[in-house]
Structure 1
Amino acid sequence: MHIGSLLSRHARTRPDHLAVVFQDQRLTWRQLHQRVNRLANALLGIGIQKGDKIATLLPNTLELLDIYWAAARIGAVVVPLSPLLRGRGITSLLNDSDTDLVFTHRAFVEHLDPVRAELPAMKPDRYVLVDAQGVPGYRSYGELTTGASDREPPYIPLSGEDPYNIIYSSGTTGLPKGIVHTHAIRAAYCTIFASEWRMTPESVVMHAGSIVFNGSFLTLMPWMYLGATYVLLDHFDPELALRAFQQERVTHTYMVPSQIIAMMGLPGFTAQNLPALQMLGTVGAPFHKEHREALTRRVPGVFTELYGLTEGFMTVLDKEQYARKPTSVGAPPAFFEMRIVGENGKDLPPGEVGEIVGRGPMLMPGYYKRPDLTAQAIVDGWLHTGDMGYADEDGFLYLVDRMKDLIISGGVNVYPRDIEEIIVQHPAVKEAAVFGVPDEKWGETPLATVLLRQPGAVTAEELRQWVNSRVEARYQQVREVVIRDEFPRNTAGKTLKRVMRDEYWKSRGEKI
C-alpha cells in the first residue's frame, strides 16, 4: 500500500475531472498526471533514488504539488521546510535530513546562497529554482523537466512502511525533530479524514495557508484519495479566499484560527453567500469560545475542529457534535485510542486533568535519526503528548494547557527555548523566559521577560529590536520585552511562566 498509485488511478478513471485550480491555471487529472510524470522521470534521470531526501523551500506553487506526488511515485522522501527559515535554521535542517536535492525560488536565493558552504553533502547541481532561470549555481525547473517523458515512470517497488516525508516540528536553533511519515500513515490520512470530513469525489477543497505544514495534509490527502478538486491559493487574503469560496463553490477547507477571524471580518462572509460550504475546520492554535460562537452564528453547521500532534494522535470535534460539546476538541477518530494519565502513569477517571496520551494508525515510527527522543515520546506504543486535558464521560477531550511551553502562532510551532537562547546572548541579560500570549491575528505570539545583570543596562525596546534582528524565523519575533526585578518560582526553583503571563495581562487591565 503506497500513495504513489493514487494519481495514476484518477488519470485513468476520471481523466477530465478538474483536479487543481491555482491562480489562472486549471488542471484536469490527466494534465496533473502528465506534469507529475515529467518531474518523476526527470528526478530519476539525475540519479534521485528511492529513499533520497528532497527538501523544499517554497511558497504555494503548482510545482510544490508536483514534487509531493512525484516523490510519492518514485519513493523519494519529501522534506517540506518553511520558507521563513534563515541562517542556521536552514543548514541545521538540510543537514539533519540528509537532503539530496533542494527546490526553492528566486526570493530565497539571498538566504540560501550564504549557507551553501555549510551543506557539504549537497552536490552543486542539486539546487533547483522553480520560478527562474539563468541564476548562477541553480538549475531551473524548466531545464530539469524539459525533455522528460510524461508517461508513467519505471516501476519502483514500494510498501506502506517506506517513508514518504519528514516534517520538522522545530525548525530553528534547538535540536531538530524530524517526524517521519510513511506511505501507510499518509494513506490513513486519506481514508480516515475523507470519512471524518464527509468528503466525496465531487467535493471541492480549498487551502489558503502554506502547504508545507502538516495541517495542510488534513485535506490534501483526502483530495488525492478521492480524486476531488483542490483549490490552492498562493497566499492567504480574506477577500481572495471569499471569492474562491464563491466562484469555485468550495465545500471543504481547514484554516488556522487567525484566518477564520479575518474571514469573519468581511460582511460577505455569511451562510447566504457560501451555499456550497459543508465544512470549515480549524487547526494549529487555540480557537477561543467567543470566536467559535461568532462563526456558528455567521455560518451555522460547518464548524469542525481538530486537535492533534504531527507525531500522530488526533481528536476531532465534528460539526454535528459542536452544539452538544461546544468547548471540547472532540473525540478520537475510528481506530484511535486515548487515555488521560496522572504523574504515576495510571489512567484517570473522567473529569480529572492529566497528560493526554494516544495511539492509532497515524502514529509516527519515530523522529528521524533520534531514537532517544522517540523513546521519550512513545512509551509502550502510546504517544505521550505533553499536553494536559481531561475527558468527559462520553470520551470527549477538553484541553487545559498547550504542549509544555509550546507557542502556536498562526499555525506555526514556536519553541520558547530557541528564543531564550538568543536573548541570553545579550551581555546585559541575566535570565530570560519566553511564553505565549493571546493575539487576535495570530492566535498566540511570543512575549519575553528578562532579568538584567545591572538595572538600566538596556531598555526593553532596545532589547526587543536586538532579539528580533537575530532570531532565525519571523514567527519567532517577540511582541514585547518585559524587564522584571525577579521571576516567580516554585519551591524547586522552576520559573512559573503561567504566573507571569497572568500578571502581564492583569497589569494592563485586560481579560486573561
Structure 2
Amino acid sequence: MPIFGPRLSRPVNLGDLLSLPLNSRPDTKALVSGSREWTWRGLQRDIDALAKGLITMGLHKSDRVATLMPNRGEILVFYLACLKVGLVVVPLNYRYTTLEIDYALEKSGAVALIIGAERSEDIQDSKFIGKLKKGFLYFGGVFEDTRSYEGLINAGGQPAEIPVSSISDPAFLFFTSGSTGKPKAVVHSLLSFGSIVAGFVAALKLTRDDIVLPGGSIAHVGSLSTALAALSVGAKTVIPQSFDGEEILSILRSSRPTILVMVPAVFIAMERNRGARREDFESLRVCFTGGDKFPVNIAKEFTNKTGHIIQEGYGLTEAPDCLFNQSLSPDKSGSVGTVAPGYVASLRDEKGQEVAPNVDGNLWLRGSPVMTGYWKNPQANREALSDGWFDTGDVMRVDSDGCFWFRGRKKQIIVHDGSNISPQEVEEALMAHPSVNLAGVIGIRDDTHGESVWAFITLKKNVPMPSVSEVIRFAKKRIGYKAPEVVEILADMPINPTGKIDRVALKRLAEAQLVQGKEK
C-alpha cells in the first residue's frame, strides 16, 4: 500500500508571502545578510519597487528570468519580485562556468538575466547573454550604459499594474546537478513550490519565534524552500554569504539561530573546525541535513561534540523535502525519515509491484509538491512520470514504523560480481577511519567483475597519513567484499554546484588514470 504523509491544508501564497508578518509586526527584523538588515516593511517595499522595475524593463507574465547572483538577501528580494509579477525564475548556481551559463540560458529560453558585477567577464565570453531579448542587469555594481538591480529599486514612479497569476502557472525552473547526465530543467508551479514551502513549515514546526539559517545557496531548492518557509511564518532569516564552516560558526555565535539546514559537507566542515565549541550550538533546536547521505559515524561525532542529533531528510529537485526524520531516537539515526506533508510514497520492484517492509524497492512519489515536469523535455517526462507518479530512481527500504532508509541511487549502484553495492555505504565505511575526512566512491567497468569499486579520499589535517592498503583493510573489516579495490588520496574532494561529492568528476579522474596506465 502507498504510504501517505500528513495532509497539507493549503500551499503558501508565493506572490504574497509576507502578509502574515506585515500585518502583525511590520517593523521587526525579517532578513539579515552580512551587514544588511531588512524589516518586514522594508523587505516588502524593496519587493514592490523591484517588481515595478521589472515591468518597466518590458518583461511580461511567464517570461523566464535567469539569476546569477551571489548569496545575499537581495536574491530573495529578486525572486519574490519576479513571482509577484508572474515571471518565471531560473536560478543559476553562482559557481557555473560560462559554458554552463550558456547551456542553462539556451535550455530555459530565458529573456533576461541578473548577474553579479564580479562575473562581468562572463558577459564577454558568453554566446547568449548579449543576445537575451530583454537584456541583462547587474547586481552589486554600476557600469556605464547598463541597468542595475540598485537602479531598478531606486527608480521611483507610479505603482505598476500587477498581472493575475493562476496557481498552476510556472514559478521556477531549477536545473538538476547533472550527477547522472546533462542537467534537466525542473518546472515547479506556484502550487507545487507553495506546497513545498507549506510542507517544510509543518515538518519543522516553524513559528515566528524561530531564527532560521539556510546554510546553502539560495539558488538551490533546499535552501530556498527553507528561507521562504521561514519568511512565510514571520521567522527571522539569516543568509550566509559563503558556505564554509568558519562563516556558519560566526553566524551561530552572532545570530543564535534555532534552525540550521545544510548539506552534509558543510556540517562536517563546521563541526570539525578547531574553533567550534559546544556552546556555539546551544541556541539550536533543529539541525537538519539533506542532499546527500550523512555518514552515521560522523553524525555520532557531531552529537558528541555539539549535543545535537542530526535530523536527516531526503529530497530531489523534482520533489524537495519529501522525507524527513523527526525522530531523535538513536534507533532511527541514519534513517531519512517518514513521508513529509503533502507527499505519497510507494516502494516498487523492477516489475512495478510494491515491495514488503524491509525489502529494497525503487521510490515513487506523488503529491502537490512534486514538479509539474521537465521543461520542454517530453522524453525525460515519459521516463520519469507515470499516472501522476514520479520515479525518483533511488532505492529505499521502509521499516515497520514507516521510516525510510536510503540504499543507493539506482544509476550509481555498483554491480560487482552480480551483487549491488551502494557507493554511500562504502563511503561511510571509509569515513569511519580516523584519518579520513571525505570519501567518494564510484564503479568502473571491469571485464571480470562487471564493475570495480574505486574510492577517492581526502585526509584530515594534522593526522598520521595511512597507507592505501591500510585504508582498504580497514574498510574490509566493516563491509567485506564491498570494500574498494582501488583507493586514491586527493588534496581536495571535487564538489558539484549543489554541494554534493561530484562523482562525475571522480569517474573522469579514474578513467584518465586507466588511460595513463595503458599508455605506460
Same fold (TM over 0.5): yes
Residues 93 and 247 from structure 1, CA distance in 2 versus in 1: closer, same or farther, beyond 3 angstroms? Answer: same
TM-superposed CA distance for 1:51, in Å, is 0.5
Q: What's the CA shift for 1:402?
A: 2.2
Q: Which residue of 2 aligns with 1:142?
A: 150
- Find the aligned partners of 2:410 and 2:24 in 1 and give their Cα distance: 44
Does 2:306 correspond to 1:299? yes
Tell me how far apart the structure 1 counterparts of residues 94 and 124 of structure 2 sit (CA, whole Å): 14
Q: Which residue of 2 aligns with 1:365?
A: 372
Q: Which moved more, 1:86-95 or 1:191-200?
A: 86-95
Q: What pairs with 1:38-437 in structure 2 (closer than 5 Å)?
A: 38-116=49-127, 118=128, 122-123=132-133, 126-135=135-144, 138-149=146-157, 153-170=160-177, 175-266=182-273, 269-312=276-319, 314-405=321-412, 437=456
| CA distance in structure 1 between the partners assigned to 2:253 and 2:278 by the alignment | 11
Give the aligned CA root-mean-square deviation in angstroms: 3.5
AA partner of residue 371 (structure 1)? P
What do the CA deviations read for 1:241-281 (whole angstroms, capped 9, x no partner)?
A: 22211221200021111111111123554443332211111
Cα offset, 1:208, TM superposition: 2.8
Residues 247 and 48 of structure 1, relative CA distance in 2, 3 Å threshold: same
Partners of 2:254 and 2:205 in 1: CA distance: 21
Separation of aligned partners in 1, 2:412 and 2:124:
34
**CA deviation profile, 1:334-387 (whole Å, cap 9, x unmatched):** 332222111111111111112111222211110011122112111121111111
Distance 2:219 2:509 in 1: 28
Shift of 1:48: 1.1
**Alpha-carbon deviation of 1:306?**
1.1
Contact 1:98 1:121 survives alignment (8 Å): no
Q: CA deviation at 1:19?
A: 0.5
Q: What is the Cα deviation at residue 299 of structure 1?
A: 2.7
How far is the alpha carbon of 1:66 from its aligned partner?
1.4
How far apart are the structure 2 equivalents of 1:135 and 1:440? Answer: 48
- Post-superposition Cα deviations, 1:454-476, rounded to whole Å, max 9, x if no partner, equal xxxxxxxxxx9xxx9xx9x9966
In 1: Cα distance, 2:250 partner to 2:516 partner: 51
User: 1:223 offset after TM fit, Å?
Assistant: 1.1
Residues 28-54 of structure 1, C-alpha deviation per residue, up to 9 Å, x if partnerless?
A: 001111111111000011111111111
Offset at 1:16? 0.9
| Change beyond 3 A, Cα 1:105–1:315 | closer
Structure 1 position 153, deviation (Å): 4.5
Question: Structure 2 CA distance, aligned partners of 1:147 and 1:269?
Answer: 45
Comparing 212-221 and 22-31, the one that deviates more: 212-221
Change (3 A) 1:120 1:224: same
Taking structure 1 as the reference length, the TM-score comes to 0.77
Query: Structure 1 pair 74/386, CA: closer, same or farther in 2 (3 Å)?
Result: same
The alpha carbon displacement at 1:291 in A equals: 0.9
The alignment partner of 2:287 has SS state of strand
Q: Contact 2:249–2:280 (CA<8 Å) still a contact in 1? A: no
Aligned residues: 439
**Is the 8 Å Cα contact of residues 20 and 232 (structure 2) preserved in structure 1?**
no
Is the alpha carbon distance of 1:9 and 1:399 closer, same or farther for their aligned partners in structure 2, counting shifts above 3 Å? closer
The one-letter code of the counterpart of 2:140 is D
Q: Which has the higher contact order (CA 8 A, sep 6+)?
A: 2
Shift of 1:313: 5.8
Deviations 1:93-140 (A, max 9, x none): 101111111011122122232224x458513x621110111256x422
Give secondary structure in 1 for the equivalent of 2:48.
helix
Cα contact 2:20–2:233 (8 A) shared by 1: no
Q: What stretches of structure 1 of length at least 5 have no aligned partner?
A: 421-431, 442-463, 488-512
1:204–1:71 CA distance, 2 compared to 1 (3 A):
same
Whole-angstrom distance in 2 between the partners of 1:439 and 1:201: 41
Partner secondary structure for residue 324 of structure 1: helix
1:353 counterpart letter in structure 2: D
Q: CA deviation at 1:69?
A: 0.6
Q: Percent identity?
A: 27
**Partner SS, residue 30 of structure 1:** helix
Partners of 2:390 and 2:454 in 1: how far apart?
A: 24
**Whole-angstrom CA distance in 2 between matches of 1:109 and 1:172:** 28
Distance 2:509 2:411 in 1: 21
Report what 1:425 is aligned to: none
Cα distance change on mapping 1:197 and 1:9 into 2, 3 Å: closer
CA distance in 1, matches of 2:453, 2:77: 39
Aligned in 2, Cα 1:247/1:88: closer, same or farther, shift over 3 Å? closer
Gaps of 5+ in 2: 1-10, 414-422, 428-439, 446-450, 461-489
Deviation digits for residues 182-230 of structure 1, max 9, x if unmatched? 1112221222111211210111011232111111123112112101101
**Inter-partner Cα distance in structure 2 for 1:193 and 1:262:** 25
The yes-or-no answer on 1:36 pairing with 2:47 is: yes
Return 309-318 or 391-400, whichever deviates more: 309-318
Paired with 2:387 and 2:278, the residues of 1 have a C-alpha distance of: 47
CA–CA distance in structure 2, aligned partners of residues 153 and 244 of structure 1: 37
- Secondary structure (helix, strand or coil) at the match of 2:341 reads coil
Q: Is the 8 A contact 1:54 1:100 kept in 2?
A: yes
TM-score by length of 2: 0.76
Residue matched to 2:482: none
Q: Is the 8 A contact 1:54 1:77 kept in 2?
A: yes
